[in-house]
Amino acid sequence: MTDVVKPPETGATGGNGRAAAVAGLGLRRNVLTMPEVLTQCVANAAPSAAVSVLPAIAFIYAGNGAWLTFVVATISMVLIGYSVSVFARRTASAGSFYVYNAQSLGSAGGFASGWALVVGYVFTGMATVCGPAIYIAAFLGQFGIHANNTVGAMILMGIDLVLATFLAYRSISLSARTSLVLEAISMTIILALFVVAFSEKGLISPDQLSLKGAPTGGIGPGIVIAIFAFVGFESAASLGLEAKNPYKNVGRAVIISAVLVGVFYILGTYAQVLGFSGQTSGLDKASAPLFDLATILGVSWFGFVMNWGVALSSFACTLACINAGSRILFQMGHDGVMPAVTSRSHATNQTPHIGIYLVAPLMLLFPYIIILLGHTPIDVINWMGTVATFGFMLAYLLVAIGAPLWLRKRHENYTWPAIIGAIGAIVMLYVYYASIFPNNALPSPLFPSDLTQPTELWMAIFIVAMIIGMAWYFIVRAQRPHVMSQIGTMQEHNEELMAPAQTS
């Protein structure tokens, strides 16, 4: 059996003591560069996969204003990213919002934030593991190899998860560099198609820029759709113990990723609406928007490449979900709110391998069950992605509320963080409201619109998952109340590390 590195006792609370304790916890320190940290955020948002579907759905509601919905969504996510950076500039941990909000909202708020993110990452992994089952199967089908069936889907999904799990287990650096390469390839492939669209149709679209015919009542639902394209963009917050210069790079990566991914979505939406303009069948009727766009532009061969681009993006997202989810469990295990086994790290690889072994199989088990019950990988993406989104939205809501409260506790100026946090919180509450009580049934793939799979069912599944997590929290608190004071002890504070230099 492989040796593991167990966490030290959490008795040191001073600056040097805490830093020394954290340094011995078994995660590989100071290894991830800024581009690699940034890639974790971008990969978790899976922009190449999202841009292949979500702009068309936004267009159903907002018409020529679809691009504007992504502008508003980008601004909203930058505001949430700012709230994240309030914490990231001052503290570094593997626990992401779990540690952040424990400092501002107490142990219950911190646990709820961390558990919501774990739910989000696991269910996102369930959705993205289906990417190869769809896009690689489509690629193979072009050569007469029929993998678009239950057995083929399960094989491709299994290969996807096994490879992602191995990379996550092997090394965070290897994971980050793999994601960096894959996302660069996939986004470049899709951007090339957008360049073709602009060269064929021109850069100016008067109808879009003037919002011609855009229904006023459709902008709001369109924003909801657009915001869903960003979920997971905050995941660099789980790399605080492994990033180089985390107080600078983690918060910056979260904000830059929101801007980078947002610009990609805005350009992609604008290009797709532009490319479909004048066609008998519009973007809202396209079953495969990017592939249909390639056909319209006379580069149908591009579909061969596009399949791989979207599949690679899906794989990178699965890998990012495993990395982020396992690290939050690792932090929770160290603090004692999860079984101690989750706090173990691999002695050689210095990765939270027990956490990886826990989250990764779930990403395959549930999709397999759903497919064996007669549903398709598209159904898995629809349903699991919906549950995941609710988890991320709750975490974003809590971090927007928590950031100014934490600054207030620290006796720091919190005026602007309070204003920005209030706007971010209102946006998240609106997303919840519009998701649960839409004026019109939101279409697939975000929300199953058929009567047998109502949106309320997936909200209920999310609520049940949260109830299970919070029930565990209250059991631990009742049986071991001292554990609550340990939440967030595995972290470093910026001012603590600077203390020796200030006193020398």
pLDDT at 444: 43
Q: What is the CATH number of the domain that holds 322?
A: 1.20.1740.10
Asked if residue 241 is part of any domain, the answer here is yes
Asked if residue 18 is part of any domain, the answer here is no
Q: Give DSSP secondary structure letters for 368-380.
A: HHHHHTT--HHHH
Q: Which of 206, 197, 222, 201 is nearest to 63 (CA)?
A: 222
Q: For residue range 4-37, what is the model confidence (pLDDT) as tens digits?
A: 333 334 333 333 334 433 444 678 888 999 999 9
- Give the DSSP H/E element, type plus range, for residue 491: strand 491-493
Dihedral sign, Cα of residue 331, residue 337, residue 338, residue 343: positive
Give the whole-angstrom CA distance, residue 381 versus residue 96. 25
Residue 184: Cβ-neighbour burial (10 angstroms; 0-12, 13-18, 19+): middle
Give the whole-angstrom CA distance, residue 362 versus residue 308. 25
Q: Which domain range does residue 362 map to?
A: 31-499
**For the chain, how big is the Rg over CA atoms in Å?**
22
The distance between the two most distant Cα atoms of the chain, rounded to a whole number of Å, is 74
- Entry field: residues in the chain: 504
Asked if residue 381 is part of any domain, the answer here is yes
Asked if residue 14 is part of any domain, the answer here is no
pLDDT at 362: 95
Asked if residue 355 is part of any domain, the answer here is yes
pLDDT at 36: 95
Q: Which two tokens stand for residue 195?
A: 């360049």
> Distances from the Cα of 331 to the Cαs of 7, 374, 471, 490, 491, in angstroms?
10, 38, 19, 7, 9
pLDDT at 147: 81
Give the whole-angstrom CA distance, residue 376 versus residue 445. 12
- State the Cα angle at 72 between 297 and 97, rounded to 5°: 115
Peptide linkage before 221 cis (omega within 30 of 0): no
Give the whole-angstrom CA distance, residue 445 versus residue 131. 13
Q: Which two tokens stand for residue 351?
A: 């990765």
Asked if residue 58 is part of any domain, the answer here is yes
Q: What are phi and psi of 26, to 5 degrees?
A: 105, -5
Cα 455 from chain centroid?
20
- Collect the ranges in the chain with pLDDT lower than 70: 1-25, 437-455, 495-504
Give the whole-angstrom CA distance, residue 433 versus residue 421. 18
Q: How many domains does the chain have?
A: 1
Asked if residue 252 is part of any domain, the answer here is yes
- Give the DSSP H/E element, type plus range, for residue 92: strand 91-93
- DSSP letter, residue 243: B
- Give the number of other CB atoms < 10 A from CB of residue 445: 18
Asked if residue 41 is part of any domain, the answer here is yes
